[in-house]
Amino acid sequence: MLKNAKVIKDEIEFIVVNTQKLQLIEHSTITNAINTHKIDDSFKKLKSMEIFQYPLSTEENNTLCSIKFYSDLKSHEKQYLEERGIYSMNRKAMINSEQICKEQSFSKFDSLNFQDLTRLKIADDEAMMILESLSQEKVNVLAEQSNGKYKLKNHIDCSSLPICYHDVIAALLNFKFAYRLAYMHLQEYSKAKETNSKFYFQLISNPYQRLIFDLTENSIIEDSYVVYTKVQSADFKKLLSHFQQTLARDRVNLIKEQSNDFIKKSLDRLCCGIEKFETPDCSFTSLESTLKAQENSAIVEAAWFSLNGMEDLIVLQEQPYSWKFWRNVLIISSMALAQITIGALIEISTVGIGTYAASFCINEGIDHFLLRLSRSILVFFPLLKGGYTQNLS
C-alpha cells in the first residue's frame, strides 16, 4: 500500500542468513553461495529516512546476502532453510519526505463501527456511550464519518471511559486501526529524522492473527496432531533410512535402534490418550504421588502445583464395565440358559432315552454361565483396587 502511494521508494530486497543456525546443518555448499553474494556489513546501518521492513539485529550471527543468493538455491534447499529459520527475506527502503506528510487512506484495518463493539457483548447503550465519549472534541480520539464508521484521529487514549472498559477498548482499537497506527508512527519517525531513532513496521496487534482462531473455532481448519494408529503401524527404521533432500548433520544417527525407539515413544506421548482405549474412562489420582512415581522425580514441581490448588490429575483408563461388556454378559447368559432349558426338555420328552444328550446340553450351559460369572468377578475386583488403570504422562 505504501509503495503504491509512493510513500516509500528505492526498495532493496535482500536475504538474512542466521549463521548460528547454519552451523547445525551440512552447510558447505550453502556457505559457498553466501560468500559469493555476501553484502557488506555497512548495509546494516540505516541512513536518514531509511527503514527496514523487519527488525534487523546488528549482532554478528546474521549475514546479509543479495537476492541472487535465493536464485542459486534448489527448491528443496529453499524450503528447508526457510522452515528452520536459517534464512529469511527482508527489505530496505527510503521514506519519501514529500508523500509522508500527506493523509493516506487504507482499505483494511482503518475504521471502527457500532457492530464492532456489540460483537464484544457490550450493550447497545454502552457501545453508543463509548463511541460518543471517544469522539468528543476534548478527547479527540475518534471522528465519526457519514457512513457510520469512525476514523482514528490521534493516538489511543481510553482515560475518558469507565475503567472497566480501558483494556478491552484499547485492544479493539489497536486491532481495528493496526495500519493507521503504523502509519502514524512512521510519520512521527520521519519528523524526528535528525535523531538516531529507528523505526520498524511492528504492528501493535497482528491484524490477521484473529482469523486463525476464528477458522479453528468454526472447524474450517484443524490443529495438527499425531494419529495413534499410524504411529503403532509405522516402520520408523525404514522411514528414516530413506530420508532424501535433507541438509541435516549426522543423518546416520537416525538409523540407530535407540533413535527409532526414542522417536516412537515421543510421538506416542503426543497422541490423544482417548484413542489408546477401546472404551475410555477416567478417574482422579493424586498429583503428588503421580509425579513422584516418574523416572525423574519432580517433588519440587508437585509442591508448587499443590500450593496453587492443583491436587489431583485426571487419569485415563480402560472402562471394564462398558456397554459391550454387559451386552456380552446378556448374550452368553441367554445362550447358557437356553442350553440348560433344551437339555431339560430333551430329558423329559425322551423319558430317559436321551439322557446323554440332555446332560451334555445342561453341562455346557452351566459351564458357560460359570465362566462368564468368574470373568465378571475377575474384572470387578481389580476395578475396586485400581487395577487396569494406565497412567498417561
Mean pLDDT of 136-142: 89
Q: pLDDT of 98-131, one tens digit each? A: 888 888 888 787 889 999 999 888 999 999 999 9
The pLDDT value given to residue 21: 84
Nearest-Å Rg of the Cα atoms of the chain is 35
Domain boundaries, given as residue ranges, for the chain: 8-95, 114-176, 323-385
The residues near 212 (Cβ < 8 Å, ≥ 6 apart) are 221
The residue with cell 475518534 is 142
**C-alpha cell at position 83:** 522452515
Q: 22: closest CA among 63, 70, 67, 52?
A: 63
Mean pLDDT of 225-241: 78
The pLDDT value given to residue 386: 43
Q: pLDDT of 35-94, one tens digit each? A: 888 988 788 888 888 888 877 766 557 888 998 888 888 887 888 888 888 888 888 888
The pLDDT value given to residue 130: 92
Looking at 15-164, list the stretches that DSSP marks H as alpha helix, in order from N- to C-terminal side: 19-22, 28-37, 68-71, 75-83, 114-118, 124-135
Q: Is the dihedral of CA 204, 207, 211, 212 positive or negative?
A: negative
Residues 267, 61: Cα–Cα separation, whole Å = 33
Residues 288, 306: Cα–Cα separation, whole Å = 8
Residues 187, 51: Cα–Cα separation, whole Å = 12
**C-alpha cell at position 316:** 485415563
Q: Is the dihedral of CA 345, 347, 349, 354 positive or negative?
A: positive
Q: pLDDT of 278-312, one tens digit each? A: 777 777 888 777 776 666 666 677 777 777 777 78
Q: Is the dihedral of CA 339, 341, 344, 348 positive or negative?
A: negative
List the strands of the sheet with 62-66, edge to edge: 50-52, 87-95, 8-18, 62-66
The pLDDT value given to residue 276: 77
